[in-house]
């Protein structure tokens, strides 16, 4: 039990160390490259924290288990909204900009709806995957085209050149991913040692653990008052999950999908996405505070309880 406990502690230390520096490097990148912090959150940070999902989806598809890749994409979005954004809003209320509601939110809602259309016939094929990838290209073009650099407080930004900021982004992201993996492994071993079932481990320890890079980046961003990076990370990660991660099994292992993933898990993801949309519209000039954060977090807990009660592992949430 000593080795798993050590892995958990080292994982937490790695996450805490890397998250703060990752956010600082992201803010410096925005400042030096003339990009808004919201765009950095929706692209650089979102892509970085979604990298583990992409690797998992590629490996699962190549290994002939595309359902794991499909569940990974859908479950990640559920965890990002319910767990990551919910907990972040609980820690630090997040200001909501009207431009976010007007420009970025419709992209996420549209991608969610079109992903449902691609899954509706129970088959994820290469045409569906190509359709989603083309939508990703359009979304990125739209984001860069409509971006306007914001006025960041210079004293809140680390003094580093663009090249150094990008190197720190890559390095701290690697530390975050490694820390989350160590934490997941150690916690899983501790759970097994305590006699907890594999299903419970998968639905709780692994699901939460693989969401730690997003969670760490969002909480650190919010606490350093880079709120656009925090909320942009969630919306951007969900866009990447739907338009970059979900197409992977369609490209590499096209065929039927698990009915539960297409029905139960997609519906939960759609419900949480619509709830997030309504919250952002309601608070479009205010804050996403602790009450909405509590509701989102409770929604995620309710989803885990539903999965545990159903006794099924398909569509298992992953970060």
E-state strands within 190-316: 255-256, 287-288
Q: What is the share, in percent, of the chain residues with pLDDT greater than 90?
A: 13
Distance CA 90, CA 138 (A): 33
Question: Do 214 and 19 contact (CB within 8 A), yes or no?
Answer: no
> What pLDDT does 164 receive?
87
pTM, entire model: 0.73
Q: What is the pLDDT of residues 138-161, one digit of tens each?
A: 888 887 776 655 544 444 556 678
Q: Band the pLDDT of 112: cuts 50, 70, 90.
A: very high
Distance CA 277, CA 307 (A): 24
Q: Band the pLDDT of 294: cuts 50, 70, 90.
A: very high
> What pLDDT does 154 receive?
43
Specify the residue for token string 């299903």. Answer: 199
Residue 108 has pLDDT above 60, yes or no: yes
Residue 313 has pLDDT above 70, yes or no: no
Number of Cβ within a 10 Å radius of residue 263? 15
Q: Pairing mode, if any, of strands 94-95 and 287-288? A: antiparallel
Q: What is the pLDDT of residues 44-85, one digit of tens each?
A: 667 666 666 676 677 778 877 777 678 778 888 898 899 988
Please state the rounded mean pLDDT for residues 257-262.
Answer: 76
Q: What is the pLDDT of residues 195-238, one digit of tens each?
A: 765 445 554 565 566 677 778 777 877 777 766 667 777 888 88
Any idea what DSSP says for residue 306? H
> What pLDDT does 209 receive?
65
Q: Band the pLDDT of 314: cuts 50, 70, 90.
A: very low
Distance CA 281, CA 277 (A): 6
Mean of pLDDT over the chain: 77
> What pLDDT does 81 receive?
92
Q: Pairing mode, if any, of strands 255-256 and 287-288? A: unpaired
Choosing among 3.40.5.50, 1.20.1420.30, 3.40.50.620, 4.10.410.60, the CATH entry for 2-310 is: 1.20.1420.30
Please state the rounded mean pLDDT for residues 185-189.
Answer: 73
Distance CA 318, CA 77 (A): 8
């Amino acid at each position: 039990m000593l080795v798993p406990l050590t892995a958990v502690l080292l994982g937490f230390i790695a996450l805490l160390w890397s998250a703060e520096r990752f956010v600082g490097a992201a803010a410096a990148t925005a400042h030096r490259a003339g990009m808004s912090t919201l765009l950095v959150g929706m692209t650089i940070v979102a892509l970085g924290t979604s990298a583990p999902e992409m690797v998992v989806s590629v490996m699962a598809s190549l290994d002939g288990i595309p359902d794991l890749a499909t569940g990974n994409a859908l479950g990640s979005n559920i965890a990002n909204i319910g767990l990551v954004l919910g907990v972040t809003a609980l820690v630090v209320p997040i200001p909501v900009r009207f431009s976010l509601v007007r420009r970025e939110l419709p992209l996420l809602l549209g991608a969610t709806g079109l992903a449902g259309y691609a899954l509706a016939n129970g088959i994820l094929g290469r045409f569906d995957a190509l359709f989603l990838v083309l939508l990703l290209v359009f979304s990125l073009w739209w984001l860069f085209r409509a971006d306007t650099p914001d006025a960041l407080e210079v004293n809140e930004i680390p003094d580093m050149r663009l090249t150094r900021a990008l190197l720190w982004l890559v390095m701290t992201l690697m530390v975050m991913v490694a820390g989350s993996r160590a934490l997941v492994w150690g916690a899983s071993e501790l759970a097994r040692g305590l006699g907890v079932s594999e299903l419970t481990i998968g639905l709780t320890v692994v699901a939460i653990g693989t969401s730690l890079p997003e969670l760490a980046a969002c909480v650190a961003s919010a606490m350093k008052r880079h709120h656009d990076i925090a909320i942009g990370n969630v919306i951007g990660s969900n866009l990447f999950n739907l338009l970059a991660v979900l197409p992977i099994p369609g490209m590499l292992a096209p065929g039927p999908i698990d009915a539960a993933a297409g029905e139960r898990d997609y519906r939960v993801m759609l419900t949480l996405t619509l709830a997030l949309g309504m919250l952002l519209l309601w608070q479009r000039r205010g804050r996403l505070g602790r009450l909405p954060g509590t509701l989102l977090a409770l929604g995620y807990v309710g989803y885990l309880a539903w999965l545990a009660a159903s006794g099924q592992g398909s569509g298992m949430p992953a970060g």
